[in-house]
Amino acid sequence: MSINGVGARQKVLRSSVVLHAGMAVSGLIMILFLLAHMYGNLKIFEGQQAFDSYSAYLREIGEPLLPYSGALWIIRVVLLLSVGVHIYAAFTLWFRSRAATHGKGAWRYESTKNRRGVQRSYASFTLRWGGIVIGLFVIYHILHLTADVIAPGGTSSSAYQRMVNGFSIWWVVLSYAVALIALGFHLRHGVWSAFASLGANTSVARRRVLNGTATVVAAIILVGFFIPPLVIWLGWVQ
């Protein structure tokens, strides 16, 4: 392949269209993971044996074709790549926007709701900072419930007991709620943007469907993830 051909390919891969598509696809992959993770968390209602068995099963998927925890590591690598693509695309597009407007940001149309010309929802306004909050919480979440390095309420070899120990403490539940609110805003705007970036926003009717879908997905994930820590804190699951 000629040098010009390589340069043209690199230029295409760094284009804003490709970056938006990369953000969309990587975001949708993470949403699928969140839904699967939420399903696993809700097994807390089946009791300690069922929850711990499910946790152990995740490490046994694919055996003997795959080594122990092989499938889990494949999922982790895919997620890590998705997070990397998402962050790279987000910051690259943000820097390009800032550079194009000399650091002032884009000027939107004026309306009766905002005469300064800034037309953005709470979701889009908090998207960037919400992403940072979510990223920091994910690190804490892994150290707490996966690695058992941070152990409010006490350490345990049982995944079920780690959840019960942690979410029996009010400030742990509160920090979880704050992170979930940030996630809800992020998802509400992100789901809509993902499908729009992939070409689904083709009409007013389709836009309404996308808006409704984004709201439903954000609500399901927010409520689904918050139910387990809430019921544990209330003492309904011990």
pLDDT tens digit sequence for 175-218: 999 999 999 989 988 898 899 888 888 888 898 999 999 999 99
Kindly state the percentage of the chain with pLDDT values over 90: 60
> Which residue in 44, 50, 52, 40 sits closest to 158, CA to CA?
52
Number of neighbouring beta carbons within 10 Å of residue 226: 19
Chain centroid, CA 222 distance in Å: 11
pLDDT tens digit sequence for 57-82: 999 999 889 999 999 999 999 999 99
Chain centroid, CA 221 distance in Å: 10
Number of neighbouring beta carbons within 10 Å of residue 166: 23
Q: 174 versus 114: which is more confidently predicted?
A: 174
Which of the residue ranges 31-45, 108-122, 183-197 would you say has the lowest mean pLDDT?
108-122
Terminal alpha carbon distance of the chain: 63
* Structural contact between residues 213 and 187, judged by C-beta atoms closer than 8 angstroms: no
Contacts of 163 (CB under 8 A, 6+ apart): 41, 44, 51, 145, 228, 229, 232
pLDDT at residue 176, rounded to an integer: 95
Reported as a pLDDT band with limits 50, 70 and 90, residue 109 is very low
pLDDT at residue 103, rounded to an integer: 56
**The pLDDT of residue 132 is above 90:** no
Dihedral (CA of 214, 219, 222, 225) sign: negative
* Structural contact between residues 153 and 172, judged by C-beta atoms closer than 8 angstroms: yes
Which of the residue ranges 1-10, 58-67, 143-152, 175-184 would you say has the lowest mean pLDDT?
1-10
Mean pLDDT for all residues in the chain: 85
Number of neighbouring beta carbons within 10 Å of residue 62: 14
**Which long-range contacts (C-beta less than 8 Å, at least 24 apart) are formed by 147-156?**
none
